Structure 1
């Protein structure tokens, strides 16, 4: 299974990237996955150009393809003005409309104060619900005082376990390439059904 991590951290080192890495490592412990990290900081110029010319650059196109093909996502943003960052939103704005439909997503955020923790429920969860992703129940917020304190490791493990379970369940439900989907049915045009019925005298 492929897990893609989207980190919108701007600084180096970044607490946003640190939280993203912790979450990804915890998912891998629950169920081994192939992890790919997308650093939005490196794609900022290409994202801006995409809005003006309508075409993604090479690096942005590769990132969009990775997100679309992923079995699950971890998305982490710093909090700006009580919401996700503009760079974070811009990346998902240029993603194909149905790219996240049915895809498991773990949402997370970092900020300087615990007072901004509601950004997860008031901004991120509605955004990914709009994109028709399947957002895991536990979201993870890390304020400056959370690092090294009790509570954060437990939230990380719980959220990661939920994502791993959802990814594994959906992966197991996928039919093989040459295997028909379970409970598949054949659509028969009405004219053909009518002809068949007339032959049987019904």
Structure 2
């Protein structure tokens, strides 16, 4: 089973740090899973315009392939102006919805205030519903105060929620895989 962590922004470091922390916890607590990180800062992903994927640049094709090969997902999003960033929305638009169907998705997000966690509830979770994926009930939201000046997560509650989310994602995916309750 491959857990793909996606840092859905091309700016800043905090989102990737959160995603990496959850992937690290999943790998440490569950040696039977493979983890991979997809950091959009390292790719030149083209804007989705509906063309056949073979006509996009190499980076865009590679990102589509990486996402398509994963068994379950951890999506990381910064919150900009009360919304998800365009690179993450573009990624959702590039990937055929069937890729996500009946797969588990969890979320980490970061923003400047305590209130921005609502973007997970009001924007990200509804997208998962549209894609017919299974959404992990828990998620981790961290704001600027949860990091120190070196961008290390220092809030103990956030660190505990990271551990819990990692375990929840793996537990859900294993349960679905064992039961093969997919409805097609």
Shift of 1:96: 0.7
Rate the CA distance shift 1:17–1:27 in 2: closer, same or farther, 3 A: same
CA distance in structure 1 between the aligned counterparts of 2:126 and 2:164, rounded to whole angstroms: 21
How many aligned positions are there? 172
Report the equivalent of 2:119: 119
> RMSD of the TM alignment (CA)?
1.9
What does residue range 37-186 of structure 1 map to in structure 2 within 5 Å? 37-43=37-43, 45-48=44-47, 50-51=48-49, 53-54=51-52, 55-147=55-147, 148-173=154-179
CA distance in structure 2 between the aligned counterparts of 1:53 and 1:162, rounded to whole angstroms: 36
Report the equivalent of 1:24: 23
Q: Give 3-state SS (helix, strand or coil) of 2:61's partner.
A: helix
Q: Deviations over 1:101-127 (max 9, x none)?
A: 011111111111112111110111111
Q: Give 3-state SS (helix, strand or coil) of 2:91's partner.
A: helix
Could you tell me whether the CA contact under 8 Å between 1:9 and 1:41 is conserved in 2? Answer: yes
Rate the CA distance shift 1:70–1:53 in 2: closer, same or farther, 3 A: closer
Give the alignment's TM-score, normalised by structure 1. Answer: 0.78
Rate the CA distance shift 1:52–1:67 in 2: closer, same or farther, 3 A: closer
Q: Give 3-state SS (helix, strand or coil) of 1:118's partner.
A: helix
Could you tell me whether the CA contact under 8 Å between 1:40 and 1:91 is conserved in 2? Answer: no
CA distance in structure 2 between the aligned counterparts of 1:101 and 1:159, rounded to whole angstroms: 20
Could you tell me whether the CA contact under 8 Å between 2:79 and 2:111 is conserved in 1? Answer: yes
Shift of 1:146: 1.7
Give the alignment's TM-score, normalised by structure 2. Answer: 0.85
Rate the CA distance shift 1:46–1:52 in 2: closer, same or farther, 3 A: farther
Shift of 1:132: 1.0
Report the equivalent of 1:177: none
Structure number with bigger Rg: 1
Stretches of structure 1 that go unaligned for 5 or more consecutive residues are: 175-180, 182-202
Shift of 1:52: 7.2
Q: Deviations over 1:16-36 (max 9, x none)?
A: 000000011111123222222
Q: Give 3-state SS (helix, strand or coil) of 1:51's partner.
A: coil
